[in-house]
């Protein structure tokens, strides 16, 4: 494939380059060869470039026949013009997932040779990328604009706006977003578009060949031809041409204020000022609960101390201050932590649980794809019994009091709130979705005097809100088997540098485990 297309580019008089790559993830090998050509700008100085890209095979595995043909045709057509002030790179990747990543990594010299080869030919800083995906040779009905980047990063809204304006305004092609093939621009459809966008953003996977470019601060979109209609290659070609002329006229980057948005329809978006408070409120809920528990733990502590030295205690409130010097037994023992809040044990437990999260992270990123399904079932099973077992071990070996459990919950919620609010600035949707799933954790009460039915009900609810359930949910949403999802995640980790699973296993899962331990503690402490 690369030879042939390279020959075609050569025949146009363009400088061409080829790049071989090979990735291994979850036991699978992903190899291929990219081929590209650089059209040197007649009016530019090769400091800036635009990329027109088509993958040989699109994300659905279909042969992108018209897309590749269109890129070749445009290469010949655009070369005749003298108005380009930015270089144009025509890139044909052999697949939609690994190829673009290998190419863009090598373009910025961040690849890992020899698995990914270096590029023989480069141009200036890439300003924009348009990917064409047109897998049929029939006419199409509408243009589907795909914009999600890896880890939920988005391209500048102005690029999407430009594409929408050109397609619908000049060419009369309908544009669609997030696979909403019919959109009546009413509340329900807008909501569905937004939610689909949020799920895609939250998962943080690559939704098209353009996704790999976005982490490099390059604005990129994929134009997908969809449906049966009377538009043909010429319409798509003119759209791309117009888009490139718009990008060519840019004097600098798109303005920075349009990177945070949720699209509801092609011309409507929710801006960060409106949506961020929701994720922040959810994250702050955990922090406020942690502060509340901290204050409460101070009072719990007083009560216990009053009990232990009943006659001597004067005012409960000042007890904390007094105790350090007064209690005679404390003078001998070096470990005086017991007089205040027993921080060390609770802190160690929370930290240890968070480190425990690296185990599933490592496991699911490094297993072979054949073992994914069985590993997942075993893990789910373990997940069910892990909190009670952990709780039993904890209570047996350290004899914790109710105060310990309060503090464990306090630190766990504090960490969760902190992680989620930091995450909300990077990937709003992921933070929001995890926050919603985790919100019941706030209300789990670590008092030991619960009836077992309530505890069991909590446990059942918690089991319904695990990361493993969420994985099953994602599998159902996409209609693909579980192993596929895990494979995609492992592939994303290795190739794309996707860190959704780090958040799931090292932020959400530990918080969930601790919630489970608290529920189990309801029985354990009393017994």
Please report, as ranges, the residues that interact with another protein according to CB under 8 A: 153, 215, 217, 253, 256, 259-260, 287, 290-291, 294, 315, 318, 320-325, 330-331, 334, 336, 339-340, 414-415, 418-419, 421-423, 425-426
Of 87, 92, 58, 99, the closest CA to residue 72 belongs to 92
| C-alpha dist (Å) from residue 13 to 9, 38, 70, 83 | 7, 10, 17, 18
Burial of 165 (0-12, 13-18, 19+ CB in 10 A): middle
Q: Please state the closest distance from residue 67 (CB atom) to another protein, in A.
A: 28
Q: Please state the closest distance from residue 24 (CB atom) to another protein, in A.
A: 19
- Closer CB to another protein, residue 434 or residue 486? 434
DSSP-derived pairing of the beta strands 48-55 and 125-133: parallel
Q: Please state the closest distance from residue 331 (CB atom) to another protein, in A.
A: 4
Q: Give the chain's length.
A: 527
Q: Please state the closest distance from residue 300 (CB atom) to another protein, in A.
A: 15
- Closer CB to another protein, residue 407 or residue 486? 407
Q: Please state the closest distance from residue 319 (CB atom) to another protein, in A.
A: 8
Residue 146: both structure tokens together: 């795909």
- Closer CB to another protein, residue 10 or residue 340? 340
Cα–Cα distance measured from residue 316 to residue 338, given in angstroms and rounded to the nearest whole number: 17
- Closer CB to another protein, residue 340 or residue 526? 340
Residue 403: both structure tokens together: 């105060």
- Closer CB to another protein, residue 81 or residue 216? 216
- Closer CB to another protein, residue 295 or residue 382? 295
Residue 224: both structure tokens together: 């997908």
* Strand, helix or coil for residue 111: coil
Burial of 43 (0-12, 13-18, 19+ CB in 10 A): exposed
Q: Please state the closest distance from residue 358 (CB atom) to another protein, in A.
A: 13
Q: Please state the closest distance from residue 425 (CB atom) to another protein, in A.
A: 5
Residue 185: both structure tokens together: 């621009």
Cα–Cα distance measured from residue 19 to residue 207, given in angstroms and rounded to the nearest whole number: 23
- Closer CB to another protein, residue 6 or residue 155? 155
Q: Please state the closest distance from residue 265 (CB atom) to another protein, in A.
A: 22
Residue for token digits 């920075």? 256
Q: Please state the closest distance from residue 418 (CB atom) to another protein, in A.
A: 5
| C-alpha dist (Å) from residue 190 to 176, 178, 183, 241, 266 | 12, 11, 8, 30, 10
Residue 400: both structure tokens together: 């914790």
- Closer CB to another protein, residue 182 or residue 256? 256
Of 498, 440, 494, 448, the closest CA to residue 469 belongs to 440
Cα–Cα distance measured from residue 163 to residue 329, given in angstroms and rounded to the nearest whole number: 76
| C-alpha dist (Å) from residue 137 to 70, 231, 241 | 11, 11, 20
* Strand, helix or coil for residue 129: strand
Order of strands across the sheet that contains 174-177: 15-25, 28-39, 87-93, 48-55, 125-133, 219-231, 140-146, 174-177
- Closer CB to another protein, residue 178 or residue 323? 323
Of 135, 268, 153, the closest CA to residue 221 belongs to 153
Cα–Cα distance measured from residue 251 to residue 48, given in angstroms and rounded to the nearest whole number: 10
Of 430, 456, 458, the closest CA to residue 442 belongs to 458
Q: Please state the closest distance from residue 296 (CB atom) to another protein, in A.
A: 12
Q: Please state the closest distance from residue 186 (CB atom) to another protein, in A.
A: 30
Q: Please state the closest distance from residue 312 (CB atom) to another protein, in A.
A: 13
Cα–Cα distance measured from residue 252 to residue 232, given in angstroms and rounded to the nearest whole number: 33
| Residue 223, phi then psi, degrees to nearest 5 | -105, 115
């Amino acid at each position: 494939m690369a030879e042939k297309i390279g020959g075609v580019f050569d025949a146009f008089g363009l400088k061409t380059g080829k790049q071989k790559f090979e990735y291994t993830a979850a036991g699978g090998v992903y190899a291929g060869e990219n081929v590209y050509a650089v059209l040197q700008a007649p009016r530019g100085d090769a400091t800036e470039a635009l990329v027109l890209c088509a993958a040989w095979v699109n994300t659905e595995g279909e042969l992108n026949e018209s897309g590749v043909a269109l890129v070749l045709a445009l290469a010949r057509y655009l070369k005749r013009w003298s108005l380009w002030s930015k270089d144009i790179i025509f890139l044909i990747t052999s697949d939609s997932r690994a190829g673009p990543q290998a190419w863009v990594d090598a373009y910025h010299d961040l690849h890992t040779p020899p698995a990914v080869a270096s590029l023989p030919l480069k141009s200036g800083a890439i300003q924009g990328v348009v990917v064409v995906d047109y897998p049929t040779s029939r006419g199409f009905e509408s243009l589907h604009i795909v914009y999600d980047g890896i880890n939920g990063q988005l391209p500048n809204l102005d690029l999407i706006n430009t594409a929408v304006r050109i397609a619908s305004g000049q060419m009369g092609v309908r544009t669609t977003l997030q696979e909403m093939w019919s959109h009546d621009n009413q509340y329900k459809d807008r909501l569905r578009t937004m939610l689909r966008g949020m799920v895609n953003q939250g998962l943080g996977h690559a939704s098209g060949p353009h996704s790999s470019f976005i982490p490099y601060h390059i604005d990129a979109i994929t134009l997908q031809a969809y449906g049966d209609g009377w538009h043909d290659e010429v319409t798509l070609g003119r759209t791309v041409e117009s888009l490139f002329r718009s990008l060519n006229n840019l004097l600098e980057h798109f303005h920075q204020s349009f990177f945070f948005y949720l699209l509801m329809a092609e011309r409507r978006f929710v801006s960060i000022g409106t949506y961020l408070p929701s994720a922040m409120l959810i994250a702050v809920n955990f922090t406020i609960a942690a502060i509340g528990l901290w204050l409460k733990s101070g009072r719990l502590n007083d009560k216990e101390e009053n009990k232990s030295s009943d006659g001597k205690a004067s005012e409960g409130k000042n007890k904390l201050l007094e105790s350090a010097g007064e209690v005679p037994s404390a003078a001998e023992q070096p470990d005086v932590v017991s007089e205040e809040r027993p921080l060390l044990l609770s802190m160690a437990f929370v930290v240890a649980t968070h480190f425990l999260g690296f185990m599933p992270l490592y496991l699911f990123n490094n297993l072979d794809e054949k073992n994914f399904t069985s590993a997942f079932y075993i893990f789910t099973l373990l997940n069910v019994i892990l909190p009670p077992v952990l709780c039993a071990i904890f209570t047996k070996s350290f004899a914790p009091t109710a105060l310990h459990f309060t503090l464990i919950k306090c630190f766990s919620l504090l960490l969760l709130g902190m992680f989620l609010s930091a995450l909300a600035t990077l990937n709003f949707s992921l933070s929001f979705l995890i926050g919603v799933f985790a919100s019941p954790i706030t209300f789990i009460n670590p008092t030991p005097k619960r009836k077992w039915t309530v505890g069991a009900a909590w446990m059942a609810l918690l089991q319904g809100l695990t990361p493993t359930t969420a994985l099953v949910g994602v599998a159902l949403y996409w209609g693909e088997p579980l192993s596929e999802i895990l494979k995609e995640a492992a592939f994303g980790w290795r190739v794309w540098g996707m860190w959704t699973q780090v958040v799931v296993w090292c932020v959400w899962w530990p918080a969930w485990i601790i919630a489970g331990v608290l529920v189990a503690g309801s029985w354990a402490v009393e017994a």
